[in-house]
Structure 1
């Protein structure tokens, strides 16, 4: 995924890999330092700025309103998550039948009676199966009388499938659903290009492929087709999981943030803090700290939503649609 990303790897780490509390802390630190910097280097002293008119009262009044709005947003997000789980018994039965049918299809592809129940094990088994199917195709290619050009094309394609499958399988080992590791590993498997390339090779060179090579290639493509719905399903579950965590976290933080905003608006008077600490006005330090704490619900919301929208952008399509630059081990583009 990092190799296919157009963003800087450090930015990608911030958007996806970093702990959300760490991201929240970084946003809060930027906010705190920004307020200190502007207040400290302003031509007028910080105390003069904070006592000219009623900027403190106006600020915290707006923050109180914003925090209440954030709580309302939390309730909306909670309703969004709950709406996916509510429904008539017939709808629930259809969901159950669809899930069981898909699990049976995966079990058939894996050659087992029952497919794994845990998301990480389920995806790991499916990715491992694509690697095994690729090795089967390679064995058929080695025993065929293909031309050197076709043999080299298939070998490069199959080597890419096997190496990517092994890498993703290792990443999924020991991963637990709810952590980002499962979805991260799924994003690292660029199945869309593999699916397109496999279908394109089969259609373009059908007359030159032996029956064994073609049948094993069909098995590989069909297994790759199962990975797309599986990834989208677990991505949806992960979004619901994250939104639930976000809603609960914001509700926990909202009351302390409101407390800080209300007490600051009611009791904080910059003229009571005329001292200086490390060359910075105490009133400015207190204002920066209370503002950062009051706006904590927003920074938490921002840190969670950044990851969700980044994942959404990278998984907009399902199937053999390539929306960005990717690692193309073979040249099978349409003329």
Structure 2
């Protein structure tokens, strides 16, 4: 439960934590990690906690860094191979994938009442959010003449969904083009809770609500499910592109990192030990260590975002893990927005 609440904190609005985990430039995050490591090493060296005078210990460190860098590069290349394996397939499999995407776009066009769905991810999700808002407004209007508790619950639910969809639509309309922007701006949209609440209301009041209200509620739930599938599609596309980009960057950094580790070992290759004076050694070795750490820092920066996006959008359908057992029907009309 603590992890779920932490995720809610991450997803709420802006803030430094969300910037580090999701919105921040990954190269800036990588530079920050390396700067922090460099500051720690410099402080420990200045206080005499660590030193670079023992040849055997530094050589063992250099050997370990070479092996570790090889391991990081190998792991990332393996991940890239797994991603590439998804891009290959027989003609029938490729046609099935294309048919699935075109069917999804046809569903969006039908729900939104447009001749063709936009090609841009942010624009497409904006259209879906507009359809959600429109159907939520229709649901609210279908019960606006009622004054019983059932009508009040449906009205509260419809208004909450319409307001959340309107905010998401406005954010998407102002966003730049890009698959990650589409995923990032909708990562906190709680469609799972909305679907759960709508299903609860439909089943709780089955046979009591009018035909128009029932149809409006079903239409809203279908549109919310369409949004869930559309966002998951773009999330998959983003993850494939992000991990492919990461593997390429790690490969670029792998050679300099290994070379830097070798240089650290060769600094002690002279007959007398260090080829530079002990006073200068820290200013030479610490930057070389940071070069060695650069692939790991870059990997950490990218994995932080990928893992956060995956966790925040992991559920398919009405699964709400942040709810405590025993909350009962109180959660049914409480459309939580992070």
Could you say which TM-score interval applies, normalised by the shorter chain? 0.7 to 0.9
Counterparts of 1:258 and 1:272, CA distance in 2: 21
Counterpart residue number, 1:312: 310
Q: Does 1:5 align with 2:5?
A: no
Deviation at 1:92, TM superposition (A): 0.8
Equivalences for 1:55-74 in 2 at 5 Å?
55-74=57-76
Aligned equivalent of 1:273? 277
Q: Show the counterpart of 1:298.
A: 296
Change (3 A) 1:191 1:306: same
Check conservation: 1:201, 1:332, Cα contact below 8 A.
no
> What's 2:286 paired with?
288
- 1:127 corresponds, among 126, 129, 132, to 129
- Would the aligned equivalents of 2:201 and 2:332 in 1 still touch at CA under 8 Å? no
**Residue aligning to 1:109:** 111
CA contact (8 A) 2:83 2:240 kept: yes
Q: Report if aligned partners of 1:71, 1:250 keep a CA contact under 8 Å in 2.
A: yes
- Give the corresponding residue for 1:28: 34
The answer to which of 207-216 and 187-196 deviates more is: 207-216
Distance 1:271 1:249 in 2: 32
What TM-score do you get using the length of structure 2 for normalisation?
A: 0.86
Tell me if the contact between 2:52 and 2:278 (Cα under 8 Å) persists in the aligned partners.
no
Partner of 1:197: 197
How many Å apart are 1:78 and its aligned residue? 1.6
Q: Which runs of 5+ in 1 are unaligned?
A: 276-281
Counting only pairs closer than 5 Å after superposition, residues 144-223 of structure 1 correspond to structure 2 as 144=145, 146-173=146-173, 174-178=175-179, 180-223=180-223
Q: Match of 1:295, SS?
A: helix
Alpha-carbon RMSD: 2.5
Q: What is the distance in 2 between the residues matched to 1:167 and 1:293?
A: 43
- Structure 2 distance, partners of 1:185, 1:165, is 12
Q: Residue 209 of structure 1: SS of its match in structure 2?
A: coil
How many Å separate the matches in 1 of 2:177 and 2:229? 20
Instruction: Report SS of the residue matched to 2:87.
Output: coil
Find the counterpart in structure 2 of residue 225 from structure 1.
225
Is the CA contact (8 Å cut-off) linking 1:168 and 1:188 kept in structure 2?
no
Q: Deviations over 1:249-278 (max 9, x none)?
A: 112212222222222221356562243xxx
* Cα separation, partners in 2 of 1:59 and 1:288, compared to 1, 3 Å: same
Q: Look up the SS of the partner of 2:143 in the other structure.
A: helix
Unaligned runs of 5+ in 2: 334-338
Distance across 2 between alignment mates of 1:259 and 1:236: 35
Alpha-carbon shift at residue 245 of structure 1 (Å): 1.1
